[in-house]
Chains A and B, each alone.
Chain A
Amino acid sequence: MATKRSCFVWIAALLLCDGCTHYYYAPNSLQTPFLQQRGDTRVSLGFIGGDEFNGFEAHAAYSPIRYGAVMVNYFQVQSNYSDNTASDWGRGRLTEVALGAYYPAHKYLSFSLFAGWGGGRVLNSYTDGAKSDLHFERRFIQPGFAVQGKWARVGMAFRFNRLKYLHGDIDLEIGEPHLTTIGNIEEASPVYVPEFGLSFGFGARPIWIDLGINLNNSYDASKLGFAGSTTRITLNCELDHFWRKHPARP
């Protein structure tokens, strides 16, 4: 899947990319950890990619108390493969923490609501090596649910983001259309970005593999140079499985 996708990206890049798209935001994965009880601990590692960029993610979720959880997300992408000039590339990363509540409505179903805060940076380099370097802060509220059976699972969530660009250093040499895009961001910030995420997984406790898509539904995405979607493949592990004396309920 991952290689197929990057193959596709390669071809798309060769066909579409002259002078390369530069992104200033891309949606990281909307995590819907299947939490059921105190002590539940989930970690995951995944590949994520979008049009002309790809990277990896790490997540962790832990429930220190019943119905309460913390979540940590790390996201990092780059695009430097799309043409041969070494100076045209982009890099982005985001680290965030979230606190939330979950409600195990059924042994197969868990609802969750997270509120999170984090920050990141997008560094782009353009023809001739001129750069733009933007730092942002993101706050979000994310309602979602997860259904998990014996061999398969599904997760779905909405995420309402308040994305604020705090500061940036922009070499005027990057020229147009990039300066206009960055000017739009400066003007629009803070930007409210609604997102939607859906994932399907298979496996068996404690290991799951998820395939997911994250959609950025913001109206001005292209005006602001935001990526519209990302897809991912993630390897998950329910760590608590290893230290729980009594294996958790199915």
Chain B
Amino acid sequence: MKKLRIALPLFGVLLLAAACNRDTDFNYYYYEPADYTLLSQYLNLPERPHNYESVLPKHLSALGLAARPVQQNKVILGRVLFYDKNLSKDGSVSCASCHKQELAFSDNAAVSRGVFDRAGDRNSIALGSVLNFSAYYGTDLFGPSGIPFFWDNRAGTASEQNIGSMTNPKEMDMSHSDIVSAVQAQPYYEPLFRIAFGNGQISSERVSEAIAEFVNAIGSFHSKFDREAEQTIGYNVYNDAEYTNFSGFTAEENRGKKIYLDHCAACHSPTQSRPAMMKGNNGLDAASPDPGVGGITGLPADMGLFKVPLLRNIALTAPYMHDGRFATLEEVVEHYNSGIKAHPNLSFELRSGAEPKRLNLTDTQKQDLVAFLKTLTDEQLLTDVRFSDPFK
């Protein structure tokens, strides 16, 4: 009895000390186990979703640019839709067919090929730039001061844009109800829609909204140019700080930057943030066969005007211009140097007086400019798994 008296409290202390030292092990999940098993049969989605939030570097945020807030759940769904060939008439084409990640989401064909190998009218646009000025990209947040989509500025928002691509007979050639039934036919969409929208109901609006979230989440701001600009320009964007030589640039690249700032930045943006103007004519032809923006607005002043593209990742997005007429950056530079045609709507920045401007660059200067354009390549974007093909 006495023994027990001592044993009891002792036992209690032992209980406390007894190191059944299991580690704390929290399991965070995003998908219900059953959903994840199903999804994993078709898709490589990480158990814990990627983070799609972005913080822009100083030289971009200083200009008031902000990453567009995206809804992660919809981005995840949008990524799958973006890569899904089932969303096209003949099951052969997805958005990614003409917007290839390894090419900064552009295409290497002069005019992209859609379903049944039909040729489109224009050269694909690289999507890697979208997020950089996303708060201004699309007309839904800032109205008419937002930058519209397409070479001819015909779509106001990313969602209008992608419905355009899906229904375009030369691209994916689907009707709204085709889209819905194509999506319904795939078992992996029910859980993805449920997570993205709260219920599994599928509509073409939801498809389009999700793809738009994905496109809006793609951002490119990790180029050599960005690294240097963040350091050298930082928040100091308003007093020609961009003219300061970048310490990490070669002499050639710095000289090229100066030429770029003098002759190109007025349209294409000194900091690669947002184009200084939404549309322009850069003198490709004296009379353009493609009316561009004018074809949409019908205004004579818009005839032959095209979207001024950002030049991020430009080294990867050959061929160049809306019709893919130039195969190399050297050809592009030569065009601006000596080839500008006197189109009636030729933009003011490319004129000297009434005549098309001639830059008269030396061969070295041309090489310098090309070297600078190559600093705009963002290698990280090309392999960023968050934007990669999720299909097995």
Contacts and interface: CB of A to CB of B under 8 A. Distances in A.
A171 B30 contact: yes
A225 B30 CA distance: 22
Contacts of A164: 22, 24
A141 B13 CA distance: 8
Contact of B49 (A116, A139, A172, A186): A172
B5 interface: yes
A140 B27 CA distance: 26
Contacts of B28: 170-172, 179
Contact of B9 (A99, A128, A167, A190): A99
Interface in A139-193: 139-141, 162, 164-173, 179, 182, 186, 189-190
B140 to A, nearest CB: 24
A99 B15 contact: yes
Given A65-B4, A101-B9, A172-B48, A167 B16 contact: no
Which interface residue of B1, B8, B49 has the most chain A CB atoms within 10 A? B8
Interface in B1-43: 1, 4-5, 8-9, 11-13, 15-16, 22, 24-30
A165 B26 contact: yes
Interface residues of A, number: 34
Given A115-B16, A139-B15, A169 B29 contact: yes
B198 interface: yes
A75 interface: no
Contacts of A65: 1, 4-5, 8
Interface string A114-134: 111100000000001000001
Given A128-B198, A165-B24, 13 more contacts: A68-B5, A68-B8, A98-B12, A99-B9, A100-B8, A101-B8, A101-B9, A134-B26, A171-B28, A171-B30, A172-B29, A173-B73, A189-B24
28 contacts: A65-B1, A66-B5, A68-B8, A68-B9, A99-B12, A100-B8, A101-B5, A115-B13, A115-B15, A134-B26, A139-B16, A140-B16, A165-B24, A165-B26, A166-B22, A166-B24, A166-B25, A167-B25, A167-B26, A168-B27, A170-B28, A170-B29, A171-B30, A172-B30, A173-B195, A182-B26, A186-B26, A190-B24
Interface of A: 65-68, 98-101, 113-117, 128, 134, 139-141, 162, 164-173, 179, 182, 186, 189-190
